[in-house]
Amino acid sequence: SAVISQKPSRDICQRGTSLTIQCQVDSQVTMMFWYRQQPGQSLTLIATANQGSEATYESGFVIDKFPISRPNLTFSTLTVSNMSPEDSSIYLCSVEGLFDEQFFGPGTRLTVL
């Protein structure tokens, strides 16, 4: 299984600001996924990030709000832009294993005031 780290682990931000979340994997992977988990809810996919191409966003998520970078096969960033209290969530990155399972990072707990 892959070992995934995320930074920061948590943050409290003011509305209107932006936060960049980093995701680091201990092995090279083709695809990385970014999910959002709103308080008390299940996970919702934000986008899929392939190295060397533009991220693919799910319905309801746009690049201007959630720009993603994927500069190499072990690293990705997700930026939450122009934040509002509704963006308060846990943001998780994941990578795929050998049998379609996914391994998740510990998450970034974001509170927007």
Partner 1 sequence: GNSVTQMEGPVTLSEEAFLTINCTYTATGYPSLFWYVQYPGEGLQLLLKATKADDKGSNKGFEATYRKETTSFHLEKGSVQVSDSAVYFCALSNQAGTALIFGKGTTLSVSS
Q: Which residues bind partner 1 (CB under 8 A)?
A: 1, 30-31, 33, 35, 41-43, 45, 48, 58, 90, 92, 94, 96, 99-107
Which residue's entry shows tokens 């072990």? Answer: 74
Q: How far is the CB of 42 from partner 1 (least distance, A)?
A: 5
Q: By the 8 A CB rule, do 71 and 84 touch?
A: no
Considering the complex, state which of residue 34 and residue 80 has its C-beta at the smaller distance from partner 1.
Answer: 34
Considering the complex, state which of residue 16 and residue 38 has its C-beta at the smaller distance from partner 1.
Answer: 38
Token digits of residue 42: 């299940």
Strands 108-112 and 10-13: parallel
Considering the complex, state which of residue 41 and residue 82 has its C-beta at the smaller distance from partner 1.
Answer: 41
- The CA-atom distances, in angstroms, between 59 and each of 22, 30, 56 are 23, 22, 10
Q: How far is the CB of 16 from partner 1 (least distance, A)?
A: 28
